[in-house]
Amino acid sequence: MKFNTKTIHGGQEHDPAYGAVMPPIYQTSTYAQSTPGGHKGYEYSRTHNPTRNALEKAFASIENGTFGLAFGSGMAAIDAVIKLLSPGDEVISTNDLYGGTYRLFTKVFENYGIKFHFTSMSSPEKILPLINNNTKLIWVETPTNPMMNIIDIKAMAELTKGNNILLAVDNTFATPYLQQPLELGAHIVMHSATKYLAGHSDVVMGALVVNDKLLAERLYFLQNASGAVCGPMDSFLTLRGIKTLHVRMQRHCENARAVAEFLENHPKIDKVYWPGLEDHPNHEIARSQMKDYGGMLSFITKGNDYDEAVRIVERLKIFTLAESLGGVESLAGHPASMTHASIPKEEREKSGVIDALIRLSVGIEDSEDLIADLKQAMQD
């Protein structure tokens, strides 16, 4: 089954009760039993819910995985992965990381004796010195948030072989439409399904997909034991969103290219970060592991002026100044004061997240309108 067909039919079955094409919303917390322990596969909705199970099968299908898990948020999904570890274990991650992930790693799990290393992942040689007997996980974002760096997933997978190390890839920006990390050697794929998978800015949701049965069983146990699951209504909405993922992503990519090329040629712009541009330092890696280059980009105005960056995002009319990304509508953000404010300024700036950086989530509106909006926002 091809990807475009999987988004609509992958892992799905018609409802056995009445043949409903869309999985019904099983808005229930518990299920009747005919005798103690005698039930029809469902006993309590924290553990299992038919609507959530349908979504989890869809997650697995579109990532070419075997087991899918749905969580109440992307952070809850990441939390479950780190709970696979024990005190004394070490994690290697990129130094260009979503602020919420950095906060979870440093402010929560460091308190429980897990050590995190943040480094450039531009080449395996920069990671090798950090690997030791305590290394249990390599955590990758690609493209990274917000600098749009591309990390070679195959190269990272090679580092884990024979070392008892898990490779987890945050695939939120790329989505499985553009990139499938399990096919490239990853053990775990994570999504903030709030973003492109749900796609309409009306759900908060997280996802994990794996192939290994034992790993899946450990994660299912944590999902149930910790209880950070999503509700049936959110599951239904995300299932509906996935059915248009392929057509939305095509337009996101087309519009991002148009916006990136406009910004690249604008006299007020110093630098544009979008992996589809040939001068992007990781363009060749992106071309080798991605189908297209995504709807996310960042840019810096000339002079690296904080006040100018804020003025631009405040003057936008079609782009909405807001947190999050990946919805059908275009959003603009100022990472230093919004998504990455939890990272100390000195650490942010080491990876390029300076005060003048603006991040765009390019939606599926008409690209000419988006360009006109940026043009008016940058006028003197």
Catalytic residues: 46, 98, 170, 195
Q: Which helix (H) or strand (E) holds 311?
A: helix 306-315
For helices 50-62 and 232-242, angle between their N-to-C axes, nearest 10 degrees = 30
Q: Are strands 357-361 and 296-301 parallel, antiparallel or unpaired?
A: antiparallel
**Partner residues linked to 38 by β-bridges:** 35
Residue 342 to residue 103: CA distance in whole angstroms: 6
Would you call 31 exposed, middle or buried from its count of C-beta atoms within 10 A (0-12, 13-18, 19+)?
Answer: middle
| φ and ψ at residue 107, rounded to 5 degrees | -95, -20
Separation CA 56–CA 52 (nearest Å): 6
Which helix (H) or strand (E) segment holds residue 313: the answer is helix 306-315
Strands 135-141, 166-170: parallel, antiparallel or unpaired by DSSP? parallel
> What distances in angstroms separate CA 302 from CA 154, 332, 357, one per listed residue?
36, 18, 11
Helix (H, G, I), strand (E, B) or coil at 84: coil
